[in-house]
Structure 1
Amino acid sequence: MDIEKLKQKILTKMSEKELETKINNIIKENSGLIDEKAAISIIANDLGISMDYDDNEEYGFSIKDIAEGQRNVEITGKIMDISDVREFSRKDGTKGKVRSIIVADNTGSIRLTLWNDKADLVNNLKKGDVVEITNAFSRKWNNKIELNSGSDLTITKIENYDESKYPVVKECYNISELTPNMPATIRGEIIASYDKREFPRKDGTTGRVKSFILKDDTGTIRGTLWDDLAEIEINKGDIVEIKGYVKEGLRGLDINVNTLNILNKGEVAEVPEVNISELPKYKDDIVHVKGRITNISNPRMVKFDDREVEVREIYLMDNTGSVRISFWGNNINALNDITEGDAVKITNCKVKSYNDFEGNEIISLSAQSNSQIIKDDSIGAPKYTENLIKINDIYNLDEKSKNDITTVGRVLTIYDINEFERSDGTTGKVRNIIIEDETGKIRVVLWDKDAELDIKEGDIVKIVHGYAKDNGEFVDLNIGRFGRIIVNPEGVSVKINRKFIKELEEGETAEIRGTVVDYRKQDLILHLCPNCNKRAVLSEGKYICEECGEVEPREVAVATLTVDDGTGNITCKLFGKTVEKITETPMDKLKGANLDILNKLLGEEFIFNGLVNKRLEDLEFSVKSVRKLDLDKEIELLSNL
């Protein structure tokens, strides 16, 4: 039995440190009566690793068994490629040399790097030779396991071997013969060619990449062209020969191309202009389409294994149907001057197909780097009409209508941004705002980039293609995938129930503008029973509710102001956040403040929004929100009254 080979098999299932610990524990448990070899045999037996093989077995340790960090690796494999020797200069001025070979068995292939004098070990070897490699060590490089040459490395040519255990070395392979980590030359027909895209590298330079699908009589494979090779013009129908390195891709094998020769140019077909209903006939083809834009999404980031890409989508409608078109990366800039309702022609879109959760085939389009959006009002397409919904009507919509809401409101209240952790470990952001029009108000939920928008109280916002969600106590307006928010859209105003104090009527929600002329001398903090919400009174160091007895009260900021607008005056009651807002003082500071903080408000002019109530014989204003006077917004408001 070759104990070293057995050890290498064990190291495919655990680290070298774990193995060493187990060996020491077994020797200790047996009071030193067994040696290291016996301990290794016990561990192998526990792991179900077979020990029934001959010391001279050619195939005892396979390439697929090699893991990161193994030492004294021994394998046999067929040489698939031998590189030329490359010389390099060391820091001390001396010269070194390096070359590599790729060896394979039927379980996979691996690169072995040979440094300095070890590079001479393959001088008399060639592609197709089967060799035994001993005393190599493994490491991970560029996310791949490779072998490196240690000082005791040996490479021995094997004359007698079982040919069935190794791949065939060929000048040109069929696609079905390819395995991961092997160099290969293949020929075939380009059946799909994708546009070049650019991406930023970590060093600040710009990389280029283009991919294609190659087909021969035995299968298909994706090929990738990097940097200068990405500039080669290849089209569907071209017959090509490529040389490259095969790797495991997300959906099968990929080949990173080193050289590409076009053996025969295919005919470049004229791109057809098709109706949306005809798109299923053109799957994987490039087409032109035209129609009217009905939806434009906000940009969003999509994560892939190797990159993160921004995408923006639109819906295009013609007289035969509607289709979603995706714009990726820099292509989204084409949407900068486009809006809902524009009649356009969009060129060079790739037709894609997928199945939804119910198994239905869905056709979509993907814009390419050479796609263009051409506005053309003469295009015959259904007329686009914006269905602007009043806020109060949102609450009475049917379920279908709640999924597509466009409304306009003025920002009444803005809450702080909250951060949260998603299931994938990333951090998200959310913020709520309250908007209103003359019919009512609603809470709007803003996520991530929208949460960071520069929005102020009093701003006009337009929610386009949002959706309403019933959260039990509230109905929230959300901005979904095809929704967006526009802050202070040009030419858009919101009618608000602005009134003079003398015009106020009991029971109405209104907005008043006035000057603080007085305030009630009372505590700034109100202590309320957490159960019945009645006032709790401090008695002998304890808070007592007349209904519930001793309680731990809920603290609420409170202020009662007298506001005058020249037509009359009214008592304004402020609670909680509105007190913090008008005094510009957080709750923890209000607890220790005195009434001087309200004295500073005398003579200041504010906008108050709230509900008119009647207390005894006088009207009273219950303030829901307050903001400082903005003369520019006041001028705009007065011009729209």
Structure 2
Amino acid sequence: MVNFEEIEEIFKRLEGKLTPEEFTSKVETKFTEMNGLCDSRTAAMLVASELGLNENVKIKDMTADKGNVVFIAKVTSVGDIKEFSRDNDTMGRVVNLNLADETGSIRAALWDDAADLVKIGDIKMGQAIKVKGFIKQGQRGLEVNVGRGGNVEHVEIEVPVKVKAHKISEIKAGMNDLNVLGKVLDIGKVRTFARKDGKTGKVANITIGDETGKIRVTLWDAKAESPGVNAGDIVEVMNAYARENTFSNSTELSLGSGGGIAKSSAVVTYNEPLTPISDIGINSAYSVAGHVSGIDDIREFDRPDGTKSKVSNIYISDNTGRIKVALWAEHADLVNELEIGSEIRIVDAFAKSGRNEEVELSAGARTSIQVIRK
């Protein structure tokens, strides 16, 4: 005999298609047909499937009274793993994910062994996963808890996500929870810095572009060390926030602990807009192309912090004018490769007023330079 309590949860999900007695009878028949090759719960799931019940639920259909749920979703953000001490003096681990499918999104908390999957890199931003967990009402809405009785596994399918992707031209400082598709144009070096608590932090920048423009994205710590993307990749930046860079007068994206970046199969195009030299004004970044019409020597100097650096100047011309370009630090060595007449392309140089109030370009850490023809 089948114990109804063992299959009651599955029966409730049939939403009145059968009476409890009818469902139990069908489960007992199925159990007999399987000749002991499954337990009563599996037999109940087989019966439910034959009656049109899909084990996987959509996020929009989840309610707090569903109890255990199984669903397939895409990981749209991964939080930091937190450790805590239990009353029995054992240590626990928990990490929060944001998951989404084509119907909506939901927060999931992974506990202990499930949280360790994030720690070892088995669960990452952008992956499709199948989740078995317990749904309940949390402080910020419904959430799924994956503990000892739950499970998380990878699935090799594309999960369409109901998340608005912003065009880069739409992004304004102060906006939060931004999702952006773009092409990786440049990946900067990882830099270290001292936090207020004395610990060392890491930061790196990448630049992405779409058909409406480009924007810099700041990555912190583990994301800075291993962003998992390369120049030329199409990526999805998720759960970012926008802020104003007062130095460059531009809006940038930043990824905190709940944000991330992942490769995407989407098609995104970007073409770098080049500004004629005669149209360059001060206090903004420009991309230009032209031929080298002047080269100065490299000069070394001491920074205020006591470290040494170097700078060299070149002049480039196009059919609209001529402009001085200061090449700082590693860019200064480029003069050893150039000749008068070399064709060059400079991306994201900052324009400022130089001597005699003439406009000049400054090529620093954010600038990329390509020698097209020597």
What TM-score does the superposition give when structure 2 sets the normalisation length?
0.46
Q: Of the two structures, which has the highest relative contact order with CA contacts closer than 8 Å and spacing of 6 or more?
A: 2
Mark the structure with the bigger radius of gyration: 1
